[in-house]
Amino acid sequence: MIMNINGVSFDYAGKPVLEDVRFRVRKGEVLGILGPNGSGKTTLLKIMNRNLSPAAGSVVVEDKNIAKITKRDIAQRMAVVPQGSEINFAFSVADIVLMGRMPSLQRLQMESDEDLRIVWESMQKTKVDHLADRPINQVSGGERQRTIIARALAQRPRIILMDEPTLHLDVNHQLEVLDLVHGLSRNEGMTVIIVSHDLSLVARYCDKMILIHDHRIEAAGKVEDVLTPENMRKVFNIEASLDYDNRIGKHTVSVIKPC
């Protein structure tokens, strides 16, 4: 196992947000964490990256409790693609990706030729190398998101945490971004954890799912075991079905109507 979530609980001002959340993630898996808005998905992701501390429980990555290692050590194991990724300064695309090397550098240390090679390789993988000199605020939403993923790759992590990575993207850019991270999982053994409320997209790309409802895990396992009509009715208040599309070799969700 590359990550163990052991009985994590969290509350805001005494109000429970997560209660006794437990699951494991294997190397090379694409795991989807699903739930309606306000269910605690983003809070869980922040706990997994130690941006928040749980009230109870622990997060263990590569046999190390992240509460007992430095943020720099965490950043060398995990990278985060945050929700939104708003950047207000006109950094170039290459400068943004270069920021991913910071956890590997000592204080005031300059980037080496090896660092620059890793940055260029990360931009090639995400197909933004031709935008290297372009200001980040002058590229499209899909190009910006691929740049943020390139920055994450430049950290050389074993795990990528993604919070609503397709939010505000056009459909073609949504597929483009998730095709990319799915390929990283399959081709490089990278573990990808995606927080989302988009049932159909997550069903299409994830190996396993965690479904959160009323602060707890409602269901966990393979896509077909989690996204049952009963679970979708209970958690999302919709009538829906999970189907397998032989044309693309992936699951899809068809929403019929609200309950």
> What does the pLDDT look like over 17-76, one tens digit per residue?
999 999 999 999 999 999 998 899 999 999 999 999 999 999 999 999 999 999 999 999
Q: Tell me how crowded residue 196 is: count the other CB atoms within 10 A of its CB.
A: 22
Q: Cα dihedral angle (127, 130, 133, 136), rounded to 10 degrees? A: -40
Report how far apart, in Å, the C-alpha atoms of 144 and of each of 47, 81, 98, 166, 181 are.
25, 11, 14, 11, 15
Q: Are 146 and 180 in contact (CB under 8 A)?
A: yes
Residue found under tokens 């397709």: 166
Predicted TM-score (pTM) of this structure: 0.92
CA–CA dist 118, 226 (Å, integer)? 38
SS3 167: coil
d(CA 56, CA 1): 21
DSSP structure string for 192-219: EEEEES-HHHHHHH-SEEEEEETTEEEE
Q: Indicate the number of domains in the chain.
A: 1
pLDDT at 108: 67
DSSP string, the chain: --EEEEEEEEEETTEEEEEEEEEEE-TT-EEEEE--TTSSHHHHHHHHTTSS--SEEEEEETTEEGGGS-HHHHHHHEEEE-SS----S--BHHHHHHGGGGGGS-TTPPPPHHHHHHHHHHHHHTT-GGGTTSBGGGS-HHHHHHHHHHHHHHT--SEEEEESTTTT--HHHHHHHHHHHHHHHHHH--EEEEEES-HHHHHHH-SEEEEEETTEEEEEEEHHHHS-HHHHHHHH-EEEEEEEETTTTEEEEEEEEE-
Dihedral-angle region of residue 204 (phi above 0 means left; psi in -120 to 50 means alpha; beta otherwise): alpha
Question: Tokens 């691929």 appear where?
Answer: 146
Separation between Cα atoms, residue 205 and residue 141, nearest integer Å: 21
Domain that holds residue 140: 3-258
Torsion 92-97-102-104 (CA) sign: negative
d(CA 191, CA 102): 21
CATH value at residue 188: 3.40.50.300
| pLDDT tens by residue, the chain, 259 residues | 899 999 999 998 889 999 999 999 999 999 999 999 889 999 999 999 999 999 999 999 999 999 999 999 999 999 999 886 667 678 999 999 999 999 888 776 788 999 999 999 999 999 999 999 999 999 988 888 899 999 999 999 999 999 998 887 888 888 888 998 899 999 999 999 999 988 999 999 999 999 999 999 999 999 999 999 999 999 999 999 999 999 989 999 999 999 8
